Every structure is written in structure tokens, then in C-alpha cells.
């Protein structure tokens, strides 16, 4: 069975720390930016994330890219 991949879109997930929990562990939140072009350069996406969080009071702790791909049987 042959399968073709069709990349649909991507999402940029930005993780950031808003403080600490009562037990002392970091309180991490995330913000998802949807409908990112699937062929967007990952290096450029990282630079955008860093630039956005340079305007924020919270520190950026992680950057993820989630890709959505449709699998089609030929």
C-alpha cells in the first residue's frame, strides 16, 4: 500500500514561565499560533518567537512546531 503525504499546516507553540508554583517548580504556560505555513523555515519561526517574547514580561522557555499532515492512500 502506497501512501502520499500532504502537508496541511503547522502551529507554533511558545512555552513561557509566568512564575513559580507553591512547591517551587516553574509555572509554565503555552500559547499556540495556528495556521503557520507548513513550508516556513524553522529558524525563522524561532527568531519570530524570540522577537515576540522580547516584548513580554515573561521568559520564553521553549519553542515547538506542530505539523499537520494528511496521509492519502494511492
pLDDT at 55: 96
pLDDT at residue 1 is higher than 90: no
Number of domains, the chain: 1
Q: How confident is the model over 29-35, as a mean pLDDT?
A: 97
Evaluate whether 15 touches 30 at the Cβ level (below 8 Å): yes
> What is the pLDDT confidence band of residue 27, given thresholds at 50, 70 and 90?
very high
> What is the pLDDT confidence band of residue 53, given thresholds at 50, 70 and 90?
very high
The three cell numbers of residue 35 are: 495556521
Determine how many CB atoms are found less than 10 A away from the CB of residue 52.
15
Domain around 18: 3-73
Q: How confident is the model over 9-21, as a mean pLDDT?
A: 96
Cα–Cα distance for residue pair 62/53, rounded to 1 Å: 11
The three cell numbers of residue 68 are: 499537520
Q: Which residues of 18-33 are buried (b: 16+ CB within 10 A; e: fewer)?
A: eeeeeeeeeeeeeeee
Question: To the nearest whole number, what is the mean pLDDT of the chain?
Answer: 95
Amino acid at each position: 500500500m502506497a501512501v502520499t503525504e500532504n502537508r496541511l499546516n503547522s502551529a507554533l507553540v511558545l512555552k513561557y514561565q509566568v512564575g513559580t508554583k507553591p512547591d517551587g517548580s516553574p509555572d509554565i504556560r503555552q500559547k499556540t499560533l495556528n495556521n503557520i505555513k507548513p513550508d516556513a523555515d524553522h529558524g525563522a519561526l524561532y527568531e519570530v518567537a524570540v522577537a515576540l517574547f522580547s516584548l513580554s514580561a515573561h521568559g520564553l522557555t521553549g519553542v515547538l512546531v506542530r505539523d499537520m499532515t494528511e496521509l492519502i492512500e494511492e
